[in-house]
Amino acid sequence: MKDNFSTRSDLYSKFRPTYPDELFSFLLAHLPNQENAWDCGTGNGQVAQQLAVHFNHVYGTDISQSQLDNTVQLPNITYAKQPAEHTNFTSHTFDLIVVAQAIHWFKFNEFYAEVKRTIKPNGLLAVMGYGVLGITSQIDVVVNKLYTDIIGPYWDKERRYIDENYQTIPFPFEEIECPTFAITQHWTVDHLIGYLETWSAVKHYQNHNGINPLELIKKDLIEAWGDVKERRISFPVLLRLGKISS
């Protein structure tokens, strides 16, 4: 599993979006028990924090110690530095396993074997993420110029799974049909710029070329934003939900 997210881990807790409550309500409606949940690839613990409201205990794992150092601390969350594919959890521990914006980095077969080992009978695996944000047509043109034209060649090959809405990842489970969800928030232009700074391809471009690619579009981005203090930001949510009966 690649680690693209140890550098400036503090940015993730500040600028990455959080998933809507409606999404978690949908997941919980399919679970008979809410004892233990595993947030795999927890990053800064945003999803673990949301799960902790509903579960007796949440376990968050990540390979980045820097990310784990910036996690949200709650009494019923335990964090550990562990790879997704090989953990020290006992078998049949979890009612729900969640992977948020991280499955594309995993070794699928090895991780799915670990899911089958650690999940309880009839437990659920929720693979979620979010695509490219939308704001206004003028702002979207500038963001897409950054995403595709400027840093496009610097995305890791695994990014394509997000562009394909996670529909092309292997998913060898009994799949549950999911409704459409979106992440909707209100941001300032500074928050948007801070979020764009967290893109892994932005870091790759900067490391390769010695300049921050955001400098190439910042003027156009601010002009397109206009005099409005905050704007509505919308991300399409990617979601696959599987039931593990064995």
Structure tokens at 117: 């080992």
Q: Band the pLDDT of 16: cuts 50, 70, 90.
A: confident
Q: For residues 126, 131, 136 and 139, what is the CA-based torsion angle, rounded to 10 degrees?
A: 140
pLDDT, residue 45, reads 94
Please tell me the pTM assigned to this model.
Answer: 0.90
| Spatial distance between the Cα atoms of 53 and 70, rounded to a whole number of angstroms | 19
pLDDT of 7 above 50: no
Instruction: For residue 85, report the phi and psi dihedrals to the nearest 5 degrees.
Output: -85, -20
pLDDT in tens, 102-129: 999 999 999 999 999 999 999 999 999 9
Q: Band the pLDDT of 6: cuts 50, 70, 90.
A: very low
pLDDT in tens, 178-187: 999 999 999 9
| Spatial distance between the Cα atoms of 61 and 58, rounded to a whole number of angstroms | 10
**Sequence ranges of the domains in the chain:** 10-244
pLDDT, residue 236, reads 97
Topology annotation, domain 10-244: Rossmann fold (3.40.50)
If we measure between CA atoms, which residue out of 83, 21, 11, 8 comes closest to residue 47? 21
Percentage of residues of the chain with pLDDT beyond 70: 94
Instruction: Say if strands 119-130 and 231-244 run parallel, antiparallel, or are unpaired.
Output: antiparallel
Q: Band the pLDDT of 11: cuts 50, 70, 90.
A: low
